[in-house]
């Protein structure tokens, strides 16, 4: 395919050797080392590689070039075309179903070589994150293929955090690609412009690269279109690429890259709800450049970052409770940009086996559990109040009454079936139902202190007998249609 200006620049200036590749030299070296030792060490290393990164930065090109330089013949398969599980029917496999052909390719030793040149094959599966939920187990089948492969498999995706790719994590070596630095792309683009007769200076090219978000493929296409109508690259001829960045990549960039305040705020607004949580979850894992390796200075910097996060929480509460949405820029600046600026630096791990990429925010899970426990506490408080035996607020119920109830309800059952009547009698007296026991025994546990769950100490046969005896009693609560908003405490947020 050609335009009036001749061959497409994307094809014309496609990298011919690994020396032509721009950026990601460390990742390319890892790819080369893994592929070089694959055949001799396939029993001890990961059999497959998962390369991830934004589009247009040379992921597929680097794989193809490195494969050929090391004597491998890359067999390219688009995962979008090889969707679904392979068919167990031999006849259907002979019929040419692509999934079956791939399965045969990676498991048949004779097919693992190019018979003409005796080159070893390497399967390159592009767009593996393009498999949809309707692909009938495509990712699961890919995992099975990796387990039984006789040839190296390189999978390529844009978003390694996609939930569809979770099953792959334990079976592949992950290799993230980053956007090349502007200075790296600039030199390559200026050389191309000079060869094509398009005059451009460094500053204009820098702005052009930033407007395209470092997408080299997009840059070449735009430069060719500009060359068709002009011989000079000016600021007025540049266009901006609308880019939606993964929240994990946003948090990584905020904590590792030097960015202007406005650029930081623009990134944060990609997902103003999740990005602050990711920064809060991961900022301690970064060694601030401004601390210069001094532990005391680092502690002071961490304190500054924590102050910003706290201030952001205060502002966020004002926004949510009083609808003061004009404070959103201030909130993201204080909760995210402020701590990111202080903590910017290289990421480090604190424990063996800890994943060295942004962790998902644990706050979401804790908040969900706290909301559920707060609701169950409100229901239990209403039932106990209706019994006439307990008169207290929910905070006192949680801190003083529930530990006592936990002991009183489970201690008789620890003695065996003889304690069932005592427990049921107590439940009838206070209006406690079977679900309340699960809540009471669960809420008194403290994971950090390794406390023992008293309910798990009861023998299974005693639990079964207790459940049958309780069901026969048909105990009903004295209140119905309980609302979680009954008698809220002033300090209700701190109850659970």
User: Which residues on adjacent β-strands are paired with residue 76?
Assistant: 124
pLDDT score for 134: 46
The pTM is what? 0.54
Confidence bin at 308 (pLDDT 50/70/90): very high
Domains and CATH numbers, the chain: 24-176 (3.40.50.300), 180-237 (1.10.8), 247-361 (1.20.272.10), 365-494 (no CATH)
Q: Strands, DSSP E only, in 58-98?
A: 72-78
Percentage of the chain beyond pLDDT 90 is 8
Q: What is the DSSP letter of 82?
A: S
pLDDT digits (tens, 9 = 90+) for 187-243: 888 889 989 888 888 888 888 887 777 778 888 888 888 888 888 887 766 555 555
User: Which residues on adjacent β-strands are paired with residue 199?
Assistant: 232
pLDDT score for 340: 92
Complete DSSP assignment for 397-452: IIIIIHHHHHHHHHHHHHT-GGGHHHHHHHHHHHT--HHHHHHHHHHT--GGGT--
Q: Extract the tokens encoding 40.
A: 């001799």
Read off the pLDDT of each residue in 334-359 and give the average, rounded to a whole number: 81
Lowest-pLDDT range of 43-47, 333-337, 406-410: 43-47
Read off the pLDDT of each residue in 153-172 and give the average, rounded to a whole number: 83
pLDDT score for 310: 93
Compute the mean pLDDT over every residue in the chain, rounded to the nearest whole number: 79
pLDDT score for 132: 55
pLDDT digits (tens, 9 = 90+) for 230-248: 888 877 665 555 555 778 8
Task: For residues 341 and 156, give the distance between their C-alpha atoms in angstroms, rounded to a whole number.
Answer: 32
pLDDT score for 299: 92
Does 305 have pLDDT greater than 90?
yes
pLDDT digits (tens, 9 = 90+) for 57-103: 888 889 999 999 888 888 888 765 544 454 444 334 333 445 566 66
CA angle, residues 7, 12, 16, in degrees to nearest 5: 160
Percentage of the chain beyond pLDDT 70 is 79
Confidence bin at 307 (pLDDT 50/70/90): very high
Does 116 have pLDDT greater than 60?
no
Task: For residues 367 and 353, give the distance between their C-alpha atoms in angstroms, rounded to a whole number.
Answer: 26
pLDDT score for 237: 60
pLDDT score for 315: 92
CA angle, residues 441, 444, 450, in degrees to nearest 5: 105
pLDDT digits (tens, 9 = 90+) for 432-468: 888 888 888 888 776 655 667 777 888 889 888 888 8
Confidence bin at 110 (pLDDT 50/70/90): low
Does 311 have pLDDT greater than 90?
yes
Strands 48-52 and 6-7 come out as unpaired
pLDDT score for 133: 47
């Amino acid at each position: 395919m050609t335009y009036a200006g001749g061959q497409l620049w994307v094809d014309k200036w496609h990298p011919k050797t690994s020396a032509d590749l721009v950026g990601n030299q460390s990742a390319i070296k890892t790819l080369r080392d893994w592929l070089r030792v694959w055949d001799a060490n396939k029993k001890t290393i990961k059999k497959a590689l998962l390369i991830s990164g934004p589009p247009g930065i040379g992921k597929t090109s680097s794989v193809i070039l490195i494969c050929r330089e090391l004597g491998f013949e890359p067999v390219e398969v688009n995962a979008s075309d090889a969707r679904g599980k392979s068919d167990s029917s031999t006849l259907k496999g002979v019929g040419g179903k692509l999934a079956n052909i791939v399965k045969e390719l990676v498991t048949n030793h004779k097919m693992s070589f190019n018979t003409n040149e005796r080159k070893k094959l390497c399967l390159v599966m592009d767009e593996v994150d393009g498999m949809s939920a309707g692909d009938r187990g495509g990712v699961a089948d890919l995992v099975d293929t990796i387990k039984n492969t006789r040839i190296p498999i390189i999978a390529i995706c844009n978003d390694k955090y996609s939930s569809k790719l979770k099953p792959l994590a334990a079976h592949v070596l992950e290799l993230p690609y980053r956007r090349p630095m502007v200075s790296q792309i600039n030199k390559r683009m200026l050389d191309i412009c000079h060869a094509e007769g398009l005059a451009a200076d460094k500053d204009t090219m820098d702005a052009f690269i930033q407007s395209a978000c470092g997408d080299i493929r997009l840059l070449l296409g735009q430069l060719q279109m500009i060359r068709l109508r002009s011989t000079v690259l000016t600021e007025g001829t540049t266009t901006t690429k609308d880019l939606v960045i993964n929240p994990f990549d946003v948090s990584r960039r905020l904590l590792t890259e030097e960015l202007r305040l406005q650029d930081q705020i623009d990134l944060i607004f990609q997902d103003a709800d999740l990005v602050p949580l990711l920064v809060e979850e991961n900022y301690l894992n970064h060694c601030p450049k401004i601390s210069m390796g001094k532990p005391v200075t680092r502690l002071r910097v961490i304190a500054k970052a924590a102050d910003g996060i706290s201030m952001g929480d205060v502002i966020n509460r004002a926004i949510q409770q009083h609808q003061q949405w004009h404070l959103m820029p201030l909130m993201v600046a204080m909760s995210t940009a402020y701590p990111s600026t202080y903590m910017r630096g290289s990421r480090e791990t604190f424990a063996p086996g800890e994943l060295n990429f942004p962790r998902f925010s644990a706050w979401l899970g804790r908040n969900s559990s706290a909301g559920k426990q707060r609701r169950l506490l409100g229901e239990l408080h209403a039932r106990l109040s209706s019994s006439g035996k307990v008169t207290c607020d929910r905070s006192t119920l949680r801190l003083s009454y529930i530990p006592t109830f936990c002991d009183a309800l489970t201690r008789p059952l620890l003695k065996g079936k003889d304690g069932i009547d005592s427990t049921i009698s107590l439940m009838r007296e206070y209006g406690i139902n079977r679900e309340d026991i699960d809540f009471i025994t669960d809420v008194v546990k403290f994971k950090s202190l390794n406390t023992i769950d008293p309910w798990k100490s009861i023998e299974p046969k005693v639990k079964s007998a207790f459940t049958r005896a309780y069901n026969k009693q048909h105990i009903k609560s004295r209140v119905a249609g309980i609302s979680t908003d009954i008698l809220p405490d002033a300090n209700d947020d701190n109850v659970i």
